[in-house]
Chain A
């Protein structure tokens, strides 16, 4: 087993899956047991230790596999609160909401690389920034459509001009425009520079559109409108938290995984064409 390839070995994947089980176990201890508080704090510390171990051993792919399998299995088999109107579809929380978390996190990394590109001028950073933006856009589309499906059964119509839906559509259109912007340049460095600036400007705009404007509106059906608490720590059922938090991490890691593979493909292509 080569040293440089150990992160793709079966052992590493199994380690990742094992660590994902540990993550879930400690979350269970924190949220679902009535152990004394010091033990719960201990479980929190263990979560940090696990995060450190994942970074050190580079087994995050296995962690993604474990957490996603858990999300899909426990998402349907574990208990969910019995709520009127939404009934079982509250389980969509494990799929629709993590799409947005993944999008915001991946876009943050993408903007980071855009800033790095403007500072250092290395085309690798432009590749990482653009692929991050594309994958985030994909997650945004998935989030939008999963939200529309959910709205169809809980709000009766898939679309009715809800402020958050509208603002999300506008935000996603910004990133569709990013794709078109990139296509309009021939020169690599020019394309990279302009799209880096666009990316950096688009991110705060997206944050405002998705998380500030809908909260200010009184018309929105989304939780969090009109200053109400959205996902506060007091109103999410403990049963759901044990699946919800792993789901966020799992889906985000999946997005990072796909983006990272695309980045490496682009780098190989660029090296083959002599650009890098």
Chain B
């Protein structure tokens, strides 16, 4: 009886990999179907936009400094 249970478990384990292609592979389909993936994307875009905005601003301020230096000379 114990060996039978072991065989069933082994077969179940193997079958997980046997059907590994196609719809059996767990992906974030749930996240996509209920639209929460857009929350993920929105947060990341927000963070990226924040970093880029900071970068662009810093460059503007630097440009002004360089210009001041140029004008002083």
Residues of A at the B interface (CB closer than 8 Å) are 5, 8, 13, 61, 65, 68-69, 72-73, 76-77, 80, 82-84, 87-88, 257-258, 261, 264-265, 268, 271-272
B22 touches A272 (CB 8 A): no
CB-nearest residue of chain B to A76: B41
B37 touches A77 (CB 8 A): yes
Pairs A–B under 8 Å by Cβ, sample size 16:
A8-B59, A8-B63, A68-B48, A72-B45, A76-B37, A77-B37, A82-B27, A87-B27, A88-B28, A257-B55, A258-B55, A261-B62, A265-B62, A268-B66, A268-B69, A271-B69
CB distance from A91 to the nearest CB of B (A): 10
B62 touches A72 (CB 8 A): no
CB distance from B14 to the nearest CB of A (A): 13
Residues of B at the A interface (CB closer than 8 Å) are 17, 20-23, 25-28, 37-38, 40-41, 44-45, 48-49, 52, 55-56, 58-60, 62-63, 65-66, 69
A261 touches B59 (CB 8 A): yes
User: How many A-B pairs with Cβ below 8 Å?
Assistant: 56
Q: Is the interface of A mostly helix, strand, loop or mixed?
A: helix
CB distance from A24 to the nearest CB of B (A): 16
A261 touches B58 (CB 8 A): yes
Q: How far is the CA of A272 from the CA of B73 in the complex (A)?
A: 11
B69 touches A272 (CB 8 A): yes
Q: How far is the CA of A264 from the CA of B59 in the complex (A)?
A: 9
Q: How far is the CA of A164 from the CA of B60 in the complex (A)?
A: 40
B62 touches A84 (CB 8 A): no
CB-defined contacts of B45 to chain A, threshold 8 Å: 69, 72-73
A72 touches B41 (CB 8 A): yes
A88 touches B60 (CB 8 A): no
B52 touches A83 (CB 8 A): no
B41 touches A87 (CB 8 A): no
Q: How far is the CA of A13 from the CA of B40 in the complex (A)?
A: 26
Q: How far is the CA of A261 from the CA of B65 in the complex (A)?
A: 12
Seed contacts A72-B48, A76-B37, A84-B25; 15 additional CB < 8 Å A-B pairs: A8-B59, A65-B52, A68-B52, A69-B45, A73-B45, A77-B38, A77-B41, A82-B21, A82-B25, A84-B20, A87-B26, A87-B28, A261-B55, A261-B62, A264-B66
